[in-house]
A and B are shown apart, each in its own frame.
Chain A
């Protein structure tokens, strides 16, 4: 077991930390350069990557954000891997890049050391064919099981609009790798109401207790990044980015747009920055209220569900008035925003905030004084702090385990530097702490909206963008309702991007659910993995397989939820 965060650097400034990192990595890297203000890239041979990541993770408040693979054969005949490590207290991202020639795509895995690399390595293995030596989990992550092993969709010689393979007959099924022959297996999904995308969980249970869990997801993987690289221009991508997620779409659009602005060196007008912050906070309230409603519903507290969604409806009407649509705001464009907040809309926004604050305070009191809700969530689904660091969790899940990270404050963007807000942090790491973080954040967001409406500066909405420079790179980062949403963009030729990597917050928060489930009762499973807030998708049924007889029993969603509700009744 590797110890993380041994060396405390959270009080040091950015320049100081940059020189410490230089000294620490001395001899391991060949050269370095800084593409933008907040991103430094070190070039290193592949043998040193493991050691570099280990040394970087020794500093406090660092985490492995994302591993970006790239096909650079048109520039230098190599594939590249960039390990982007976030230094949260210094507003700094450090990328470690290594080049792998086409005939020798092998690199040592770091997934046994830093769990955050687990999904990233599997994804790069699927999509670029890079082999990670020492990676135990050799299953496909993104692509389906029947996909040929030699077709890698994100290589540049793979066309974006033509299927390389045909649908074959007799598709092989998903085969679990669990070796628990003596245990009962409960499969949840792929269609399940508490995941935003179809995810299949296999829960290995002994009686009522969950012993192990296994995950298979990405049934809805669409390869949006390939479409964007293949045919869309810079200003068309914000609209497809907004459709990555149905709940936090605006954070994706903002994140992408910020990355492009950062690489092109565009300063957007003050008014645009404030309007982006306003919409992001509206989206956060909307998302948190949705989650509170779902959590209440799973625990059998339907009054809370109805009231929470009633409050949410006020904010949806407000968003419709401000942007022209309830959910897909369509406000972002490279260089600014598209719609202004004028006249009577300001008044409407203030009225809505007043209404929401009154109603939400009542709901808040009702929820935290509800003994069943507290008993069902306290001490359930505990994520230990060292595991949270290793998995690189973000957002409310991280803040519930005592990690004081918030991108709004740490990697400040939009107008957040000029606004004042608190970041609620709890240290228990259970579902109750996650719930309380979200409940507190809604109050902060309401405060932020009022501050923004009072301080909205005048001026233009967007600047004219002439040319996006070629072959530059940057990261854009936004605190989504679920945590850090990071986009890596590299610009290419002919007004197109060369590489776009989206790491949504749930990508970091879903893998640790495996750890959170173990040791708790089956009836706690829905609330545990609803607690990391994977978005909502509707479900049909669950499949229960009895291992001894091999018989299958169909268990409907209502039955499992009834089980969860029955537990609430018993506690109450």
Chain B
């Protein structure tokens, strides 16, 4: 028994934690932090978040999309970090989150909404999402790219109208030059 304690004495498992700082392992899934410079406001994190700690709200009146994380609900699973397409969410190993005020646990990113180039109303996606989509166009064939570029800056209603207008016009001038019997 004495030999046992002599050998295992080094393998200390208790720490004087509140009196001394505790260094968590770098693998710890701690507080997820949103980088407001990289976030495009797509809301993928809000979709994936199991306890709805991250939410996406759209304010059409002021023209802002709000990505809001409330750490009081967070279960520190790291799903938001996995699904973020921009790498805007970083898992830190911060775990000391106790605070006297609930407001300290809320972090918001406000992003400008895109304005429809046809009707001038706010769309439900942000300016940065449109820019991000624009950068994705490079890999697409030219004809398709032009088609997409026409609709990219429109809101969803205008897209539908433009699309149906185009479809109707194309239908009217089919190869026999006569109107279709069913209008659409």
A310-329: CB near B (< 8 Å → 1, else 0) gives: 10011001001111110010
Find the residue from A314, A324, A325 having the highest chain B CB count within 10 A. Answer: A324
Determine if A236 is an interface residue (Cβ-Cβ < 8 Å). Answer: yes
Q: CB of A240 within 8 A of chain B? A: yes
Chain A nearest Cβ from B143, distance in angstroms = 29
Q: Which of B11, B25, B50 contacts A239 (CB 8 A)?
A: B50
Q: Mark A235-273, 1 if CB is under 8 A from B, else 0.
A: 110011001000000000000000000000000000000
Contact A359 B8 (CB under 8 A): yes
Nearest-CB distance from A455 to chain B (Å)? 23
- The answer to whether A429 has its CB under 8 Å from any CB of chain B is no
A325 interface neighbour in B1, B11, B13, B28, Cβ under 8 Å: B28
B77 beta carbon closer than 8 Å to chain A = yes
Q: Does more than half of chain B's interface fall in helix, strand or loop, or is it mixed?
A: loop
Residue pair A314, B50 in contact (C-beta under 8 Å): no
Complexed CA–CA distance, A235 and B1 (Å): 49
Residues of A in contact with B, size category: 20 to 34
- Quick one: which of A280-333 are within 8 Å of B by CB? 310, 313-314, 317, 320-325, 328, 330
Task: Report B56-98 CB contacts with A as 1/0, cut-off 8 Å.
Answer: 0000000000000000000111110010000000010000000
B8 A239 Cβ-Cβ under 8 A:
no
Of chain B, the residue at the smallest CB distance from A239 is B50
User: Is A232 on the interface with B (CB-CB < 8 A)?
Assistant: yes
Task: Tally A-B pairs: CB < 8 A.
Answer: 56
**Taking A239-B50, A239-B77 as contacts, is the C-beta distance between A324 and B27 under 8 angstroms?**
yes
B79 / chain A contacts, CB cutoff of 8 Å: 235, 239
Which of A322, A323, A338, A355 touches B11 (beta carbons < 8 Å)? A355
| A221 contacts chain B at the CB level, 8 A cutoff | no
Q: A310-B13, A313-B13 are in contact. Are A328 and B75 (CB under 8 A)?
A: yes
Task: Verify A320–B28 contact, CB threshold 8 A.
Answer: yes
The answer, yes or no, to whether A22 is at the interface (CB within 8 Å) is no
Instruction: Enumerate chain A residues within 8 angstroms of B144, measured Cβ to Cβ.
Output: none
CB distance from A479 to the nearest CB of B (A): 25
**Which residues of B have CB within 8 Å of A240?**
50
Nearest CB of chain B from residue A47's CB, rounded to whole Å: 44
Q: How far is the CA of A239 from the CA of B25 in the complex (A)?
A: 22
Q: Does B176 contact A (CB under 8 A)?
A: no
CB-based contact B29/A325 at 8 Å: yes
Residues from chain A with Cβ under 8 Å of B7 in the complex? 358
**Smallest CB separation, A368 vs chain B (Å):** 15
* A residues near B76, Cβ cutoff 8 Å: 325, 330
- Does A338 contact B48, Cβ atoms closer than 8 Å? no
Query: Inside 8 A of A324's CB, which chain B residues have their CB?
Result: 27-29, 78, 91
B4 within 8 A of A: yes
Give chain B interface residues in 99-145, CB to chain A under 8 Å.
none
Q: Which 10 interchain pairs have the tightest Cβ spacing?
A: A324-B29, A313-B13, A236-B50, A239-B50, A330-B77, A362-B4, A324-B27, A321-B25, A239-B77, A321-B27
Besides A239-B51, A320-B25, A358-B7, 19 new A-B residue pairs in contact (Cβ under 8 A), listed by A number: A235-B79, A236-B50, A239-B50, A239-B77, A239-B79, A314-B11, A320-B28, A321-B25, A321-B27, A322-B27, A324-B29, A324-B91, A325-B28, A325-B29, A358-B8, A359-B4, A362-B4, A362-B8, A366-B1
27 contacts between A and B (CB under 8 A): A235-B48, A236-B48, A239-B50, A239-B75, A239-B77, A310-B13, A313-B13, A314-B11, A314-B13, A317-B13, A320-B27, A321-B25, A322-B27, A323-B27, A323-B29, A324-B29, A324-B78, A324-B91, A325-B28, A325-B29, A328-B75, A328-B77, A330-B29, A330-B75, A358-B7, A359-B4, A362-B4
Binding site for A on B (CB under 8 A): 1, 4, 7-8, 11, 13-14, 24-25, 27-29, 48, 50-51, 75-79, 82, 91
